[in-house]
Chains A and B, each alone.
Chain A
């Protein structure tokens, strides 16, 4: 009998969680429809996109470059230390570092980092505008606030992220080269030979496709949480956390799906 109640309560929790998931999915779909409504005025729209590219893209350049350089270096050294067998040629390290960076690091890991930076930025900005009634003020003027505020962010971020990804690849591989040659673990020429060996250009396309999807996920999910804040500053903070967690989880999920679709 006790077991019966135990499982019943578990079932109820599962049921509620599932219902909440559908609730958010439905509301997210309605939200997207609003975001992709017709923009108010094209001249204003273009101006906003330029501003957002600066704010979301250029401002993220620093962190992307620093992290890429260090990760490229660490990946290279770890690979070098791990394949210590003399029969395995040194250039394999370059090859392995290249593939890790192209396949996973510059798209997925950079995506997760940007979910933290850009996601919390978007969620708190939109959330603050919600609780200070700036969104109501737009609505009362007859402007579609979701479209006006969020579409430029989505477009700008999706547009700029391929550039960030390519930069991250370049910096990461360079970081690996420097680490390898400065420590003497992987001589420069070996590394260069390695990164050219059996190179698959499709890996870059694959990473870019992933990054574009991740940018869409980060921008829309974070904006969704910001847009639906109710309350005050405390709730804006919570929404910002939820935005980061939710977009990170979705990035991991879509990473799996896209890998299966594109590489299998």
Chain B
């Protein structure tokens, strides 16, 4: 479980996060939704410590992240897998080397064992015949899969995904969403996913928080999201004509 306690984050004098408190539960896909520019990426990067927060605290299974010394932070980092908005694969390394990279850096395993683990992860994300290709030689959807494989290589307890389906077609998006969901259950991880895609919300949203201009306006599950009386959230959900139609048909 990861807990955010009244997180504030400013860049110079611009306040992007204005006091966010919430809990992200273990074994569930926790979604952060909100418009472009609402602060989702900043929140995610603050949670993992890529941004230093201005005030507040972050707790990983009851350990305060801010009061950790560097050695514990480093240990915690190895329990974190992260999927970036643009995949962030190392473009000088092949697919297999990308997935093996965390193992190369943090284990003393033999090459054979590392390759075995890398291949397990690559198979888990259903990638075939791509081991020796470079990131520039594979499609965006495949890159996302490689990034997932790399993120789970060290068997992390926490998985962070920043818009895992940005730039993908709707079908591939669903496949990636489901992959993240399955992996979360399979390895009992605390998974946090940033998205502004309502399809993801309806597909895998077990625990959802809605961010608007740096504030949390709503928190709940995909089952009650349609019954909320909140102008900003409704604007967000029914921005899509499809969802508007569904609502009209349901009366």
Interface residues of A (CB under 8 A from B): 40-41, 44, 132-134, 136-137, 139-143
Contacts and interface: CB of A to CB of B under 8 A. Distances in A.
A134 B85 CA distance: 11
A139 B50 contact: yes
A137 B77 CA distance: 11
Contact of A143 (B50, B73, B105): B105
Contacts of A134: 88-91
B118 to A, nearest CB: 15
Contacts of B77: 140-142
B78 interface: yes
Interface residues of B, number: 23
A40 B105 CA distance: 7
B82 A140 contact: yes
Contacts of B91: 132, 134
A133 B105 contact: no
Given A140-B50, A141-B78, A142-B78, A133 B84 contact: yes
B137 to A, nearest CB: 16
A136 B48 CA distance: 10
B93 to A, nearest CB: 10
B136 to A, nearest CB: 11
B74 interface: yes
A136 B105 contact: no
A137 B82 contact: yes
A165 to B, nearest CB: 28
Nearest to A138: B90
Nearest to A140: B82
Interface in B69-90: 73-78, 80, 82, 84-86, 88-90
A-B interface, 9 closest residue pairs, ranked by CB to CB distance from nearest: A142-B77, A133-B88, A137-B88, A133-B84, A142-B74, A140-B82, A134-B88, A136-B50, A132-B86
B19 interface: no
Nearest to B80: A140
Given A141-B77, A142-B75, 7 more contacts: A40-B105, A132-B91, A136-B50, A137-B90, A140-B48, A140-B77, A142-B74
